[in-house]
Structure 1
Amino acid sequence: MPHSHYAPRQHASARADAPRQHQPARPDAPRQHTSARADAPRQHQPARPDAPRMSSTTSSIPFVSASMDLSQDPSSPYYVHPSDNPASALVSPVLNGENYNHWSIGMKRSLISKQKLALIDGSILMPPKTDPTYKAWERANNMVISWITRSVSPSIAQSIVWMDKTYEIWEELEERLSQGNLYRIAELHQCIFNFRQGELDISNYFTQLKILWDELDNFRPLPKCTCEAMPDTKKYFMEDRVIAFLRGLNDTYAGIRSQIMILEPLPSLRKVFSLVIQQERQTFGNETDMKVMAINGPWRGRGSSVNRGR
């Protein structure tokens, strides 16, 4: 009996020991498993908010671009400033059929200042009427047409009145009125060859000659080339202008003209102009200033022009 009573106590003690040995292991396992579960979402949490933010930013770019009102963007050719007046003439004198080259240069400069050059050079064509930019294009296009119409003679304005695209009007005027370029080039060469100082002071003489040169350069610009012959071409080009300037001077400047012509190499055109104008001041002194004031400022002694015997 004692033996049988002792056996069950040992068995009960063994049963109690088993759970006590496994109890520390059981909380460890769930804690490890719970920790692993907690770690997974923590690792993915930064990635989840990033994904929608990238998607939102990417999708918003075309939306802003498509919905932006170009007519309200001051940097856009479609923008029309509140002070822009369709009844204004952008250049003076107006196009009369004989001054196309000067007129076109003035118009281009005015349109560049208003950021509308793209509407006449073909960079921006008429969009479809279903296009979101059509209304903005139509408004800017009509504004430029009004400026062109006000900047040409009445007869030329009548010939373009039914045209409704600026780039077509510009192309029409260019093809119709710039066909006489070869005759104008020949005329310019003749004018430059025969041009003389006469009653002009040196500054006005040089200015008038430069106007002819600049117009000729517009028709016949120097080629843009990096070949070996280009430096010599530019040298001969500038020497021709120095010679043309010197040969047109009055005989009063024969001395300095001879001194400059024997220099090798010839000075630049700016240097030659500086030397000649210094000679003018040494020879005529304040008399030159009086001549300039009489020519350029009618309110400064209009009748005080002095004959310098040139």
Structure 2
Amino acid sequence: MFGLLDGSLKKPTVPPSTDQELASWLKNDAKVKSWILKSVDRSIVLGLRPLSTATKMWKSLSDTYGTISTARQFELEVELANLQQGDLDITSYFNEVRLLWTEQDLLTAALVSGPASPEVQRERQKIRLLQFLARLRPNYEAERSTLLNREDLKLEGVLATLVREETRQRTQAALDTRPGPGETFVFSAAKGPPRGHSSPAARGNGSNSSSADVFVAYRPPNQRRDVECHHCHEKGHT
């Protein structure tokens, strides 16, 4: 059916063609037009519907979207340069980056074709992986250093390593919030921290008042002095 797109399969004329040949061409042309309309964004469909043949639709799409846009290439480079992991998890961060990579590949497909294409693609993937690692949050520094020392730096291995580390960090964070041996949960019905553990601000003004109820996992002073309270910032309880 590709001849209906590039115009090489011309519409039969009567005569010399038969009515059957014309009917077959019209049927196939309508089929290709429906494929095109189902394959593009709805906003594009409105501009294609008035066109009478698949050839005209294809030419319109080619003229509009088939050329490399230098402005869009620049925009993609800026978006990639500014993209950071931030609050995203590893998978969401990678999906954001992959969308931009995919559009880059589509725009520059013609530029990297030819005998040198495999080498160009490998070098591009390596640079992309390095940029991806550079924009990770600082808590992945150990894994980043390990990955950079690998000779066979591949996307699948990088993602697997980072997802495992992300899972480990989430599990460790959950364990750190659980009470350990010798801890008791204390709920203060009054506003402010439990008695004997007033916040620095409260100690300063002689008041135990606070803007919210406090739920504290209290550790005796001789246990876990490295733990800091998220509310009053004293050591020994959470």
Does the pair score TM above 0.5? yes
CA contact (8 A) 1:119 1:125 kept: yes
Structure 1: distance between partners of 2:41 and 2:108? 26
Structure 2: distance between partners of 1:272 and 1:154? 38
Q: Which residue of the other structure, out of 258, 278, 289, is the alignment partner of 2:145?
A: 258
Rg larger in structure? 1
Structure 1: distance between partners of 2:10 and 2:29? 10
1:125 matched residue in structure 2: 10
Asked if residue 194 in structure 1 is aligned to residue 82 in structure 2, the reply is yes
TM-score normalised to structure 2 length: 0.59
Structure 2: distance between partners of 1:232 and 1:158? 40
Match for 1:213: what amino acid? W
Deviations 1:95-124 (A, max 9, x none): xxxxxxxxxxxxxxxxxxxxxx55334453
Structure 1: distance between partners of 2:100 and 2:44? 28
Task: Say if 1:252 and 1:183 are closer, same or farther in 2 by CA, change over 3 A.
Answer: same
Match for 2:55: what amino acid? Y
Please list every run of at least 4 consecutive aligned residues from structure 1 whose deviation after the TM superposition is greater than 6 angstroms: none
Matches for 1:44-59 after TM superposition, within 5 Å: none
Greater strand share, 1 or 2? 2
Match for 1:269: what amino acid? L
CA contact (8 A) 1:149 1:157 kept: no
Asked if residue 246 in structure 1 is aligned to residue 133 in structure 2, the reply is yes
Return 5+ residue gaps in structure 1 as ranges.
Answer: 1-76, 78-116, 289-310
Greater helix share, 1 or 2? 1
2:170 matched residue in structure 1: 284
Structure 2: distance between partners of 1:254 and 1:271? 16
Structure 1: distance between partners of 2:45 and 2:24? 27
Structure 2: distance between partners of 1:154 and 1:214? 21
TM-score normalised to structure 1 length: 0.46
Task: Say if 1:166 and 1:283 are closer, same or farther in 2 by CA, change over 3 A.
Answer: same
